[in-house]
Amino acid sequence: MNNPLLTAETLPPFSKIEPKHIEPAIDYLLEECRALIKIKTQSTEPFSWENFVDPIEKVEDRLNKAWSPISHINSVVNNKDIREAYNACLPKLSQYSTEMGQNKALYNAYNQIANGPDFSTLSQGQQKTIQNALRDFELSGISLTPDQQVRYREISQELTTLTSKFEENVLDATHAWKKNILDETLLTGLPESTRTLAKTTAETDGLPGWVLTLDFPCYLAVMTYADNSALRQEIYTAFATRASEVNPETAQWDNTQVMDDLLALRHEKAQLLGFNNYAELSLATKMADSSQQVIDFLEDLANKSKEHAQKDFDALQQFARQEYNVKQLEAWDINYFSEKMRQQHLELSQEEIRNYFPITRVLPGLFTIVNKLYGLTISEIHDFDRWHSDVRFFEIHDKNKVMRGKFYLDLYARPNKRGGAWMDDCVSRKNGPEGLQTPVAYLTCNFTPPSSDDPALLSHDEVITLFHEFGHGLHHMLTQVDALSVSGINGVQWDAVELPSQFMENWCWQKSALEIISGHYKSGNPLPESLLDKMLAAKNFQSGMFMIRQLEFSLFDFQIHLNFNPREPSNIYSTLSAIRNQFSVVIPPTFNRFAHSFSHIFAGGYAAGYYSYKWAELLSCDAFSRFEEEGIFNPQTGHDFLTHILEKGGSIDAMDLFVNFRGREPTIDALLQHNGIMA
């Protein structure tokens, strides 16, 4: 038992975890789970929550609490040894999951409890746990023939391996590309923070001058500010062709075959289970009723937004032509001239805004807003075990001094850390005879790190990202559901999971909230009224273009899964082209291989579910409109959102929770109004 992953500690002992511990720990815990389930299913006494479901949840929770830090360090401090150990465990976990999903004795026991006389006496969360389990048995192939079950298991294993391979290819291709710059004039236009980062990267690599990378903060800064068009083109091309056959420098990490194999295997899995396609299978655990409902929702939004998007793009083209004599906008010009136009028309510079959003002001401000909304107090803990020196740790208490949750915060980009921003669960809440298990979350971002003299300065978009991920964290940590499988984000319908995160973004646009989260990083002076007015005026700057771009991604994802045909060539880029021709106002160059690094759908949980962002945004805009009516810090409205949405986890269907909070079903109007597409 000297393996740190097998200890009973609630928080992972990160400093003690070595790659050599990983596979033996997972092997041990998987056997522990199998042994307990064998004993429980062979019992002769009547099955109940107490003697059957609860012990199984407990032993599987022990497995999850060991796997969670492994999966996390693979994402945030990736190296060859961790990756190998992580990948060695993936097929074993997949095999266990499928094995349990096809365990007839386990299925019969859950069925017996569901149809037994005591089912109605169980809590809402316990009943939902059993109902979800029976649904998941069907989705795991419990009704298949033995031969079909073998094939199902093979598919599940292959899918697990391929999704990990896709993410690794993106990570490796991203970090393989670097540009060493010796001529400082090439950096004209770049903010000081980006130059400092490029200088530091060069020093770390033992190189003179500056080093630009494809890490997102660096890439976005070049696209937005670099005056040198050739530099923008070079970096755009490298970024847009990562992990693809188009880029000879990263062709060894080409995801083309991985994507085709993923789509084929997902389709085969869906058909094995009796669905026509993977899109239908995906909807089995979502709010949306049918594929047609999803397509109609997305196309309706696209049709209502396209004219607005076209006006946005026409205005940008006219601006570039008149002010800069640029006759043809290229893909690598869009961000650059959009920023020039924003600065000129709205007299608003993103870099000027950064000065008013130091992390030292934004983070305490975020905590103050959460306190005003829900009466929660967030305090930092300094003595804890971490995976990197940047990481911080916090606890959340309610008005009655009751601990509600804890979270790790890892904010800055660095080598060997996966790009993007996310929240993940470290520990989930459960409550039983042994007492309460407090939920713990990981909150991860990739912001530009602080310099030696100054704190990290966030763009307003980064502030929104922080609020977004914190919304996910609150959903996970504030749950009051005692049944583990439906507490926090567990068991929440996937197209509703973005509701709490997108909801939190609204406070980044409210004047009284901005006063709390902003202040000049040197003087402490508040955000000037004039700058605030410009920010609010710019809120929906190019919102039509942004809306259409998100709908393009959503329709693409859904249609490649809906219309996959194993007897025809890959439909990935033909589908994307058809959607762009119908709805998009900006058509990228033919060499663009966006899909090759679209990790959300090829490596994350969003396959045939990327539409969830817009679906949940509809919910979040409509939910926030109640705050607009009653006061954005109205404690009663905050209390209602806390009790109806955040505390209920997956114990009740998302639409019922929304109606309980809002008093009616959502309408599309709030979404269009918040995006400035409808008055």
Structural domain boundaries in the chain? 4-101+103-139, 177-253, 256-346+543-610, 359-537+613-674
- Predicted pLDDT of residue 574: 95
Spatial distance between the Cα atoms of 581 and 555, rounded to a whole number of angstroms: 12
Model confidence pLDDT, tens digit, residues 167-185? 999 999 999 999 999 999 9
- Alpha helices, DSSP H only, in 54-212? 54-76, 80-101, 104-114, 124-139, 146-176, 192-204
Mean pLDDT of 58-69: 97
| CA distances, 271 to each of 140, 281, 643 (Å) | 12, 9, 40
Spatial distance between the Cα atoms of 307 and 502, rounded to a whole number of angstroms: 25
Q: Which residues contact 435 (CB under 8 A, 6 or more apart)?
A: none
Portion of the chain with pLDDT greater than 90, in percent: 91
- Predicted pLDDT of residue 575: 96
Fold identical between 256-346+543-610 and 359-537+613-674? Answer: yes
What average pLDDT does the structure give for the chain? 95
Spatial distance between the Cα atoms of 675 and 576, rounded to a whole number of angstroms: 24
- Predicted pLDDT of residue 333: 98
Q: Which residues contact 452 (CB under 8 A, 6 or more apart)?
A: none
Spatial distance between the Cα atoms of 284 and 282, rounded to a whole number of angstroms: 5
Spatial distance between the Cα atoms of 436 and 320, rounded to a whole number of angstroms: 60
**407 SS3 class:** strand
Q: Residue 551: name the closest of 468, 502, 614 by CA.
A: 614
Portion of the chain with pLDDT greater than 70, in percent: 100
Q: Identify the band that residue 613 occupies on the pLDDT scale cut at 50, 70 and 90.
A: very high
Mean pLDDT of 456-475: 97
- Predicted pLDDT of residue 313: 97
Mean pLDDT of 566-570: 92
- Alpha helices, DSSP H only, in 327-486? 334-345, 350-354, 359-374, 460-477
Mean pLDDT of 84-107: 96
Q: Identify the band that residue 511 occupies on the pLDDT scale cut at 50, 70 and 90.
A: very high
Spatial distance between the Cα atoms of 42 and 426, rounded to a whole number of angstroms: 32
The first and second tokens of residue 117, run together, are: 């006389």
Spatial distance between the Cα atoms of 224 and 259, rounded to a whole number of angstroms: 30
Q: Identify the band that residue 433 occupies on the pLDDT scale cut at 50, 70 and 90.
A: confident
Spatial distance between the Cα atoms of 16 and 182, rounded to a whole number of angstroms: 42
Q: Residue 650: name the closest of 499, 538, 453 by CA.
A: 499
Residue 281 pLDDT > 70, yes or no? yes
Other Cβ atoms within 10 Å of 546 Cβ, number: 15
Q: Could you confirm whether 84 is annotated as catalytic?
A: no
Mean pLDDT of 493-500: 94
Spatial distance between the Cα atoms of 221 and 216, rounded to a whole number of angstroms: 8
Mean pLDDT of 409-433: 94
Model confidence pLDDT, tens digit, residues 647-658? 999 999 999 999
Could you tell me the end-to-end alpha-carbon distance of the chain, in angstroms, rounded to an integer? 64
Global confidence as pTM: 0.90
Q: Between 663 and 8, whose confidence is greater?
A: 663
Q: Positive or negative CA dihedral for 457, 459, 465, 466?
A: positive
Q: Which of 469, 552, 617, 647 is catalytic?
A: 469
Spatial distance between the Cα atoms of 303 and 297, rounded to a whole number of angstroms: 10
For domain 4-101+103-139, give the fold. Glutathione S-transferase Yfyf (Class Pi); Chain A, domain 2 (1.20.1050)
Domain 256-346+543-610 class?
mainly alpha
Residue 349 pLDDT > 90, yes or no? no
Helix 543-562 / helix 291-324 crossing angle, nearest 10 deg:
140
Residue 119 pLDDT > 70, yes or no? yes
Q: Tell me which of 3.40.50.300, 1.20.140.10, 1.10.760.10, 1.10.1370.40 is the CATH number of domain 359-537+613-674.
A: 1.10.1370.40
Q: Identify the band that residue 1 occupies on the pLDDT scale cut at 50, 70 and 90.
A: low
Model confidence pLDDT, tens digit, residues 200-223? 999 999 999 999 999 998 999 999
Model confidence pLDDT, tens digit, residues 619-651? 999 999 999 999 999 999 999 999 999 999 999
- Predicted pLDDT of residue 251: 86
Backbone angles phi, psi at 487, to 5 degrees: -90, 150
Spatial distance between the Cα atoms of 92 and 41, rounded to a whole number of angstroms: 22
Residue 8 pLDDT > 80, yes or no? no
Model confidence pLDDT, tens digit, residues 523-540? 999 999 988 888 888 889
CB 211 within 8 A of CB 178: yes
